[in-house]
Structure 1
Amino acid sequence: MITEEKKEEKSLNFIEEIVEADLQAGKYTQIITRFPPEPNGYLHIGHASSICLNFGLTKKFPGYTNLRFDDTNPVTEDTEYVESIKNDIRWMGFEWEHELYASDYFDTLYQYAIELINKGLAYVDDSTSEEIALLKGTPTEPGKDNIYRSRSVEENLTLFEKMRNGEFPDGSRTLRAKIDMGHINMLMRDPILYRIKHAHHHRTGNKWCIYPMYDFAHGQSDSIETVTHSICTLEFVPHRELYDWIIEKLGIYPSHQYEFARRNLNYTVTSKRKLLQLVQEKHVNGWDDPRMPTISGLRRRGYTPESIRDFCERIGVARRENMIDVGLLEFCVREDLNKKALRRMVVLDPLKVVITNFPEGVTEMCHSENNPEDIATGNREIPFSREIYIEKEDFMETPSKKYFRLAPGKMVRLKSAYIIQCDDFVKDENGEITEVRCSYIENSKSGQDTTGINVKGTLHWVSVPHAHEIEVRLYDRLFSVEDPSSEEGDFKDYINPNSLEVITGYAEPALSEAKEGESFQFLRKGYFAKDPDSSTEKLVFNRTVTLRDNWARAGN
């Protein structure tokens, strides 16, 4: 009989099945994985899946995960990106065994290239990039050999050394693998292994002016580190043949590449090139703008590492690419913050209420729970006075049948305070309601109510003389269409003009004790996190997510 525990055991994804089979067959006693970002941008939500997969495998099975920076392109890389990547991985809750760089292996890779030349498996090509493309053929037509392919080993060794010594300008020569110009896989038609780039490298300085291509650095770096399971996204499927070919010809440790499907998130873009455009053209305020899909942007917006790990777990690992609804990510953070976030009262669109039968100049303390989901968080004091703010939308002059908030002659409860009844209201010369006048019901205070009066509506509120003015940034989805990259024209044409609204809110005093990055549920409004832009003079809060999915309700 299957036990309840067994029923709830989560089935393995296909990568985990491969790992489990390898370990059970005795192929390995432990596994080694790696997360290999290129330090040319900030990590985004797409990378989070790869981080969770690679590090998650070595939490589930014996072994460890390395962090290896694929720093083979000196023109686009920067130490700023290196530090941000390390920070993001640690924030996600993972720690690597070894911090490594492809540039650590430049000397070894150079020797590997010489070995291929000596075996007649690589040659120096003087062709331009246009000439190489012209002779490469098409998926249905074979490529053609060029005159440089038949160079002798000695000539290739001499030319490659001159490339290494900086005797040729950028783009004038490349080192290519000598495989088969008629191969059905176009990537196997004498792929480029090295190119000339006279550029300063963020770690090796000006030591090198030739740099290995990704396909030459990738598999060999895996092999040097004895990586057992090299996990890539699906676009690298055609590269696996070259990965295996180079390892076989060099006779080095046989790492193996496996591929899983990239998960695309709707209403955003995750191309580093496009994200860089958004930053450089000032459509957003940097890589950590809370509208960005970067991990640093999500963190600043108030997302938790637990919610992102939960999201990655829920979308799973598959062999087919598909579009994931950002609503699932929002659901995950709501679920997590509901359990953790302290509750606070903040009024975002204030309407003054005067409680006419409450004495002037008197402050009474009310007590309210910090989080009803976690009684260990205790209670807090909230000052109550004659004048309070409520939300404008919580008062209606002529209410509909199912409107249970404040209206003339109607009663509501003020959260953790008294029941009040609307007696009158004041309008300005434009007919706008500027003030509501109410009376409070004695003996109706929350926790001490002896009136027996039942009301259907409960409102959040803030005492006017005690209110703290705060800046509130209401963030929404960065794009107004599901897949901006597939739409006609420039993807930036589809930026949501309402992705950020900055307003002033009025908060209860307890919010002034918030720490940077701390998340709160603003009652009835959503989840918000304190922004680093906050100062002692002004607190700034970012909306992480609304309490409900407003986009789904609006039919977007």
Structure 2
Amino acid sequence: MNNKKKKYKNNFISQIINNDFDEDQNLSLHTRFPPEPNGYLHIGHAKSICLNFELAKLYNGKCNLRFDDTNPLKENIKYINAIQEDIKWLGYKWNNNVHYSSDYFPKLYKYAKELIKKGLAYVDQLTKEQIREYRGSLKKPGKNSPYRDRTIQDNIKLFQKMKKGEFSEGEVCLRAKIDMQSSFMVMRDPVIYRIIFSEHHQTKNKWCIYPMYDFTHCLSDSIEGITHSLCTLEFQDNKSLYNWILKNTSVKKYPKQYEFSRLNLEFCVLSKRKLSILIKKKFVNGWNDPRIPTLSGLKRKGYTPASIKNFCENIGITKQNNLIEFSMLEYCIRKDLNKIAIRTMAVLEPIKIYLYNLDDNYEEKFIVPNHPSIPELGTHEIIFTKIIYIDRVDFQEKYNKKYKRLKLGGEVRLRYAYVIKAEKIEKDKYNNIVKIICFCDLNTLGKKTKNNKNPAVIHWISVNNTFPAEFRLYNHLFNIKNPEREKNFLSYINPKSLIIKNGFIEKTVIKIKNIFFQFERIGYFCIDEIDSIKDKLVFNRTVGLRELWNSKK
């Protein structure tokens, strides 16, 4: 690397790296993204992914993808595959092959034995409840296990018996011997190995003892030659254990751990445990439900890799925990979709308009742009006929001075077409309006009305140009800004988080090779490629048209 300092959004971590390069001109930056394969990635993981991969790119370094797979009870190969797909979707490529902590199980076992031989680890026979009790609390110091002073020879034999499966689950465990009086709870003789009789997705049934995350993570970093181990603030206290394990084993490389604030997003929960609860209790339809902030859900909702990466860059990297406005994420996707979304018309709640002064077989065609300012996106054809659909919300029977759309006796302009005037309505036996009878002024194409007015513009679709569609209107899943901190977070579920409408899109749209659309006056939508069928398309609303992030206006 040259002497010119580089910065990723001028955050404190890039400043640390710059200083490290000043001290060691031969330094080669090596980061990693180490997910546990026990769920899908969410927007919080995206912050870490972008940071690690972008820093590696910026400093001409490397970034590993390593699955910290030390608990076969919660892990699944489907999560491994989904995580890889999400990282690729974001546009990142990891260094060489995928790494697994389980690749290092033989080495980790040797390091554990090394601690035992140094008198720094022992096999304990306390139960989980007893270990918790002996550990004490933030105000009360812990006390030593009665098994803490076993001889090294006894501990070696017992650990080997653990490896051979001669104990039952929970009967014994291996603990580091550090300090039961430590002010850091994590340093009070933490468990570093436990017994689990369950098939592992990588090692199958080769092992029945599994290292704990804190023991595994630092050693895996060292084995892979990671220079900068970046993690969120909840692991700040764990740094003491991270460094203790490295110091007391015969590792050759010493990674440095740095912590940054995790992402907290309005109206969302980002805990995998809570997301799992939402899925199990069927409040949402799986890990890719557009109402939850998993990358799969955001992708299905219509978010793009560019919008997520821009969001992560905008929020920055700090040590301060704060709640990010959801409108900031929406700003990023609007900005991206504004450049790529095809403009068309759609009617979500159709109501018929009869233009009584047109012939039954009247038909006129207009060529309209797919984007108002990007000619390269092309054009498409719309059809104008005697009978058209408009959205029910665009008509009001009773006079209201503030209502600027179609009303009895009032005029509106049909987008790309003529001015019409509502003169009469027809209702069914339930008093629902089923037909609006209007006059169409054929002298107003591209012109003002006779009284020189510019009436409001509404969207429409000819009955001869319709294709059935389902529109899924997604709203916040929770009614409060910070459900993450609520113990009974499920009681704040928004019952209107999904509203489904059945209407029409322009038939010509189905020939356009694009999945992103701006339905004029309604919002940005994308085709749901999972649930759409040949005879009916499903559209997910990505975001409305209104800009809410005031600080970016």
Interval of TM-score (by shorter of Structure 1 and Structure 2): over 0.9
Match of 1:211 in 2: 210
Find the partner of 2:16 among 9, 18, 28. 18
Match of 1:316 in 2: 316
Find the partner of 2:93 among 83, 92, 95. 95
Match of 2:183 in 1: 184
Find the partner of 2:67 among 60, 66, 69. 69
- Give the C-alpha shift of residue 324 in structure 1: 1.3
Residues 485-496 of structure 1: pairs in structure 2 closer than 5 A: 485-487=484-486, 490-496=488-494
Residues 195-234 of structure 1: pairs in structure 2 closer than 5 A: 195-234=194-233
Partner AA of 1:116 in structure 2: L
Tell whether the 8 Å contact from 2:467 to 2:507 is kept in structure 1 after alignment. yes
**Take 1:183 and 1:146, find their aligned partners in 2: how far apart are those partners?**
15
Partner AA of 1:468 in structure 2: F
> Greater CA deviation, 144-153 or 227-236?
144-153
Match of 1:246 in 2: 245
Residues 409-428 of structure 1: pairs in structure 2 closer than 5 A: 409-428=409-428
Alpha carbons of structure 1 residues 407 and 324: separation in structure 2 relative to 1, 3 Å: same
**Take 2:324 and 2:26, find their aligned partners in 1: how far apart are those partners?**
35
Tell whether the 8 Å contact from 1:22 to 1:28 is kept in structure 2 after alignment. no
> What does the per-residue CA deviation read over 1:377-407, in whole Å, with 9 as the maximum and x for residues that have no partner?
1211011111001122222334433433223
Partner AA of 1:112 in structure 2: Y
**Secondary structure of residue in 2 paired with 1:82:** helix
Tell whether the 8 Å contact from 2:328 to 2:549 is kept in structure 1 after alignment. no
Alpha carbons of structure 1 residues 24 and 374: separation in structure 2 relative to 1, 3 Å: farther
Match of 2:518 in 1: 521
Partner AA of 1:530 in structure 2: I
Match of 1:293 in 2: 293
**Take 2:489 and 2:433, find their aligned partners in 1: how far apart are those partners?**
43
Tell whether the 8 Å contact from 1:427 to 1:433 is kept in structure 2 after alignment. yes
**Take 1:529 and 1:303, find their aligned partners in 2: how far apart are those partners?**
9
How many residues matched? 541
**Take 1:271 and 1:328, find their aligned partners in 2: how far apart are those partners?**
20
**Secondary structure of residue in 1 paired with 2:396:** coil
Tell whether the 8 Å contact from 1:72 to 1:211 is kept in structure 2 after alignment. yes
**Take 1:47 and 1:399, find their aligned partners in 2: how far apart are those partners?**
52
**Take 1:452 and 1:68, find their aligned partners in 2: how far apart are those partners?**
70
Tell whether the 8 Å contact from 1:405 to 1:458 is kept in structure 2 after alignment. yes
> Please, which runs of 5 or more residues in structure 1 have no aligned partner?
1-8
Tell whether the 8 Å contact from 1:345 to 1:461 is kept in structure 2 after alignment. yes
**Take 1:259 and 1:158, find their aligned partners in 2: how far apart are those partners?**
38
- Give the C-alpha shift of residue 61 in structure 1: 1.5
Match of 1:3 in 2: none
Residues 129-278 of structure 1: pairs in structure 2 closer than 5 A: 129-252=128-251, 253-278=253-278
**Take 2:119 and 2:25, find their aligned partners in 1: how far apart are those partners?**
33
Identity %: 49
> What does the per-residue CA deviation read over 1:416-453, in whole Å, with 9 as the maximum and x for residues that have no partner?
1222233333344454433222222234334x889895
**Take 1:111 and 1:487, find their aligned partners in 2: how far apart are those partners?**
43
Question: With structure 1 as the length reference, what TM-score do the two structures score?
Answer: 0.93
- Give the C-alpha shift of residue 412 in structure 1: 2.2
Alpha carbons of structure 1 residues 413 and 206: separation in structure 2 relative to 1, 3 Å: same
**Take 2:223 and 2:548, find their aligned partners in 1: how far apart are those partners?**
51
**Take 2:423 and 2:388, find their aligned partners in 1: how far apart are those partners?**
15
> What does the per-residue CA deviation read over 1:341-361, in whole Å, with 9 as the maximum and x for residues that have no partner?
001110112221111222212
> Greater CA deviation, 415-424 or 260-269?
415-424
**Superposed CA RMSD:** 2.1
> Please, which runs of 5 or more residues in structure 2 have no aligned partner?
1-6
Tell whether the 8 Å contact from 2:356 to 2:437 is kept in structure 1 after alignment. yes
- Give the C-alpha shift of residue 69 in structure 1: 0.2
Tell whether the 8 Å contact from 1:514 to 1:530 is kept in structure 2 after alignment. no
Tell whether the 8 Å contact from 1:338 to 1:373 is kept in structure 2 after alignment. no
**Secondary structure of residue in 1 paired with 2:412:** strand
**Take 1:277 and 1:28, find their aligned partners in 2: how far apart are those partners?**
48
Alpha carbons of structure 1 residues 386 and 501: separation in structure 2 relative to 1, 3 Å: same
- Give the C-alpha shift of residue 187 in structure 1: 1.2
**Take 1:450 and 1:375, find their aligned partners in 2: how far apart are those partners?**
29
Tell whether the 8 Å contact from 1:406 to 1:422 is kept in structure 2 after alignment. yes
Match of 1:6 in 2: none
Match of 1:540 in 2: 538
